[in-house]
Structure 1
Amino acid sequence: MAPSPMIKTEVAFKANGKQAARQRFEGVFDVLRDEIVADFTSKGMPQDAINWYKRNLEYNLPGGKLNRGLSVVDTVAILKGRALTDDEYFKAALLGWCVELLQSFFLVSDDMMDQSVTRRGQPCWFRVEGVNLLAINDSFMLESAIYFLLKKHFRQESYYVDLLDLFHDITYLTEMGQLLDLITAPEDAVDLSKFSLERHRLIVVYKTAYYSFYLPVALAMHMSGIPASQGSFAPYKAALDILIPLGEYFQIQDDFLDFAGTPEQIGKVGTDILDNKCSWCVNTALAIATPEQRKILDENYGRKDAEKEKRVKEVYEDMKIRERYGVYEEGAYKKIMGLIEAVPETPTADGSPVLKRDVFKVFLDKIYKRTK
């Protein structure tokens, strides 16, 4: 049965709204890029260096989904409960682009460590002709641009130091997660004895959840004037307690879709088995494997061989990984919803802005039962 014209119109309206939001956000990038390049130029840098830095910014920032950056803008709007003024939008989008700068810093360096080939449908920056190991310094410059922008636009704000602390702390935590990932699952040295569900949890929490989920919301909370404490309630602790499990749920879902999702669904062919990834699927399998199943996993996981990959997938099916994921997902959803419902939304005695449950419900609604 074909969709009704009303449904088609609603879908088109939502798509157009998302596209317009992205275009407005990208318009702020153009302003910020010009500010960064102008400051670089003011230091007396020659034209070839100016061109290089500008190219670095334009190649590595705007091409992704921009979910993290846009989340800052969306969260500020939810917390304020109204449409943002032009100045508020610019500042929220600026913080969003700082998150995207951090992401780009991580990705440029991570691609070198993993010797990856493509990123966002184009060659990894270090593989671009003439770049090579200069990409190491380029990644540093992407990170440093964060602090230039924060100083230029937030130096006068009472929460400026909070922003600095947040970016420094989250960067450090993410690098801890990257270290764990690198020493646990190198592509060229398969050793499943290093794998465990607890190791997987630590990698996911530190490498992904802090900067992808907590950072955008915490930035928006600071900009919106949410204080460190409201009586006995600690808003940032509550946000952390919700967003870290939510980020863990998202990554486990991603791991499952790499195994169970079709290329049409997820937009790519899953490669976690071939690439020796410390995935939720293999760690769940290892936790319940019989000696015979463990032998198959040891002999076939992480090998660049389609037949060996098939053998691993057969073990997954025998172990009912799909059903186990379904049980996990329902449990995670209920746990996170319980944490969200525990957030008080009653006005505070001092009239300070209140943390709103919708901040977290929006994230959860986007993720729950996701198929791509």
Structure 2
Amino acid sequence: MPSSSPRERFLAVFPALSAELLDYLRSEGMPAPAIEWYERSLAHNTPGGKLNRGLSVVDTVDIILCTDAQGKRTRELSEEEYRDAAVLGWCVELLQAYFLVADDMMDASVTRRGQPCWYRMPGVGNIAINDAFMLEAAIYHLLKTHFRTRPYYGLLLELFHDVTFQTELGQLIDLITAPEDDVDLSRFSLQKHHLIVVYKTAFYSFYLPVALAMRMAGLDDESLYKRALDILLPLGEYFQVQDDYLDCYGAPEVIGKIGTDIQDNKCSWNINVALAHATSEQRAVLDAHYGQRSAESEERVKAVFRAENIDVEKRFKEYEKESHARIEKMIMDMPENVGAKDDGSNGLKREVFRSFLEKVYKRTK
């Protein structure tokens, strides 16, 4: 019997997957303290977020397999289909957990998802490096256990390996462009920001869930993956620009955190827009105060952001309107059920992309 919400039903799958991983450790003769440690790591780092990436796998499989070309529901996912989609979704969430454990250490972050970062938990420290590796390794154990006999198994492995490498490239560009202890705004540019957000966020947060669902649904026309990539990467970039904007302009009680991008020397969209339009005097203020851990310096930077010739808030609203129109046109320009089989089902449907855009457009958190 499905749970009362898509999130609850998805969450209900995780304990069994965690148990599979712990059983593997037992089968390898690992001692009880190691098994207990891994259980705590899995529970602390994997199921506590919004789960948007994992749920997107399930939603996309559902749209492809259970709706017709006009978007009308034709059936429900079988229990086996749902289970397969949820396993792939949890593999994406494990990838996210792996990235975040490592990222928090690199950024010396304090909290994540309302609790201490894993490396800051009592007794963890640098052991979190190995824990991050074990979160990643869990992906490939689950893929082998659940999909080794499927014809698309190798393609799943390829997707995870490729997207992991792409995300790590984005992280590298971010780390060498904006180290917290070495502020140098001459390294920043909108082009650099574009590279960071596409590689660090868009591939694994937007393309990966959809591509996994397409493989599971039997879509084998490679041109469909190019079409999906062409829509999802701009959509992922738009999402991250929103994130940057909300860090500075979102209400903390709504977004659930106090923005720190200015004090943390982040190569955000906001600072790059300001740099692109600043006068020499404004640039001097930004050089002196960006990346400084001071409320006064942060306010000086925000004052430049508000200046009439820069007006980051106005420029974001223009960017958001343009981005929405451009992405919507890309979606409408594709056939309604491209790549469909002879029976008219199982094509790449517009609703896959519409659902993403609707969730993202004008979000406030």
Structure 1 length as normaliser, TM-score?
Answer: 0.92
Of 275, 280, 283, the residue aligned with 2:269 is: 280
Of 262, 284, 298, the residue aligned with 1:309 is: 298
Q: What's the CA shift string for 1:222-247, capped at 9, x where partnerless?
A: 11111224xxxx11000000000000
Alpha carbons 2:340, 2:348 under 8 Å: kept: no
Q: What's the CA shift string for 1:158-195, capped at 9, x where partnerless?
A: 10011000000000000000001111111111100000
Q: Which residue of structure 2 lines up, in the alignment, with residue 335 of structure 1?
A: 326
CA 1:309–1:335: 2 relative to 1, 3 Å: same
Q: What's the CA shift string for 1:281-338, capped at 9, x where partnerless?
A: 0000001111011001001111001111111111111021111111111111111111
Q: Which residue of structure 1 lines up, in the alignment, with residue 144 of structure 2?
A: 151
Alpha carbons 2:171, 2:196 under 8 Å: kept: yes
**Structure-2 separation of matches of 1:227 and 1:101:** 25
**Structure-2 separation of matches of 1:201 and 1:325:** 15
Between stretches 70-79 and 18-27, larger displacement belongs to 18-27
**Structure-2 separation of matches of 1:286 and 1:317:** 13
SS at match of 2:5: helix
**Structure-2 separation of matches of 1:70 and 1:349:** 25
Q: Which residue of structure 2 lines up, in the alignment, with residue 126 of structure 1?
A: 119
Give 1:199 deviation, angstroms: 0.3
Alpha carbons 2:10, 2:86 under 8 Å: kept: yes
Give 1:258 deviation, angstroms: 1.1
Of 231, 234, 247, the residue aligned with 2:236 is: 247
CA 1:38–1:243: 2 relative to 1, 3 Å: same
Alignment of 1:358 onto 2:351: yes
Residue type matched to 2:320 in 1?
E
Give 1:350 deviation, angstroms: 4.6
**Structure-1 separation of matches of 2:253 and 2:38:** 36
Alignment of 1:141 onto 2:134: yes
Between stretches 292-301 and 347-356, larger displacement belongs to 347-356
Alpha carbons 1:301, 1:308 under 8 Å: kept: yes
Q: Which residue of structure 1 lines up, in the alignment, with residue 39 of structure 2?
A: 54
1:165-176 aligned within 5 A? 165-176=158-169
Alignment of 1:215 onto 2:208: yes
**Structure-1 separation of matches of 2:216 and 2:289:** 50
Tell me, which stretches of 5 or more residues in structure 1 are unaligned? 1-16
**Structure-2 separation of matches of 1:25 and 1:358:** 21
Percent pairwise identity: 61
Give 1:263 deviation, angstroms: 1.1
Give 1:210 deviation, angstroms: 0.3
Tell me, which stretches of 5 or more residues in structure 2 are unaligned? 68-74
Alpha carbons 2:289, 2:297 under 8 Å: kept: yes
Give 1:345 deviation, angstroms: 2.5
Of 344, 349, 355, the residue aligned with 2:335 is: 344
SS at match of 2:221: coil
**Structure-2 separation of matches of 1:273 and 1:130:** 31
Q: Which residue of structure 1 lines up, in the alignment, with residue 84 of structure 2?
A: 91
Residue type matched to 1:356 in 2?
K
Q: Which residue of structure 2 lines up, in the alignment, with residue 29 of structure 1?
A: 14
Alpha carbons 1:300, 1:308 under 8 Å: kept: yes
Alpha carbons 1:343, 1:355 under 8 Å: kept: no
Give 1:18 deviation, angstroms: 9.8
Give 1:264 deviation, angstroms: 2.2
Q: Which residue of structure 1 lines up, in the alignment, with residue 71 of structure 2?
A: none
**Structure-2 separation of matches of 1:303 and 1:199:** 21
Give 1:265 deviation, angstroms: 2.4
Give 1:98 deviation, angstroms: 0.1
CA 1:59–1:348: 2 relative to 1, 3 Å: closer
Structure 2 length as normaliser, TM-score?
Answer: 0.94
Give 1:99 deviation, angstroms: 0.1
**Structure-2 separation of matches of 1:190 and 1:121:** 28
Between stretches 205-214 and 263-272, larger displacement belongs to 263-272
Give 1:353 deviation, angstroms: 2.2
Q: What's the CA shift string for 1:104-125, capped at 9, x where partnerless?
A: 0000011111111111111111
Give 1:261 deviation, angstroms: 1.2
Give 1:348 deviation, angstroms: 4.2
**Structure-1 separation of matches of 2:37 and 2:244:** 36
Give 1:259 deviation, angstroms: 1.2
CA RMSD of aligned residues (A): 1.4
Q: Which residue of structure 2 lines up, in the alignment, with residue 185 of structure 1?
A: 178
Give 1:349 deviation, angstroms: 6.2
